[in-house]
């Protein structure tokens, strides 16, 4: 089975655009929490800080995914895309459709 690199590039570009859009949308929730004791109660501040921490963790994951996309684009350029980094077997298209950044087959990833 030959891997359609144009489809792979499009999947990666679509995923990158989605990640960047999510990052822009969540920018406000990652901003510094104002601790004005007159404006909100202690529990509200704690909730705000927890939400900020979760938004920051999600942003870190998005940044890791952007790096994985960059690595997948490099594998396309080098002719290694779609082949497992460990066993060199072809990664099924179904796996690449779900995760176009996958660098290992299901067997090696588990």
- Check if the beta carbon of residue 82 is closer than 8 Å to that of residue 8: yes
**pLDDT surpassing 60 at residue 40:** no
Q: Which residue stretches of the chain are H helix? A: 5-25, 42-78, 93-98, 106-109
- Please state whether the predicted TM-score (pTM) of the whole model is above 0.85: no
**pLDDT surpassing 70 at residue 27:** yes
- Of the candidate ranges 13-17, 52-56, 72-76, 104-108, the one whose mean pLDDT is the lowest: 52-56
Mean pLDDT along residues 62-85? 96
Whole-number pLDDT of residue 25: 86
Whole-Å CA distances, 69 to 10, 28, 55, 103: 11, 25, 21, 10
More reliable by pLDDT, 48 or 88: 88
Whole-number pLDDT of residue 105: 92
Structure tokens at 50: 């927890």
Whole-number pLDDT of residue 19: 96
Whole-number pLDDT of residue 38: 57
**pLDDT surpassing 90 at residue 39:** no
């Amino acid at each position: 089975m030959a891997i359609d690199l144009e489809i792979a590039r499009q999947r990666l570009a679509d995923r990158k655009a989605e990640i960047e859009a999510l990052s822009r949308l969540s920018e406000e929730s990652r901003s510094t929490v104002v601790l004005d004791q007159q404006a909100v109660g202690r529990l509200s501040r704690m909730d705000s800080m927890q939400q900020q921490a979760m938004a920051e963790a999600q942003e870190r994951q998005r940044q890791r995914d952007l790096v994985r996309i960059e690595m997948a684009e490099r594998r396309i350029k080098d002719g290694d895309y779609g082949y497992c980094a460990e066993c060199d077997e072809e990664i099924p298209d179904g796996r690449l459709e779900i995760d176009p950044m996958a660098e290992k087959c299901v067997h090696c990833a588990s």
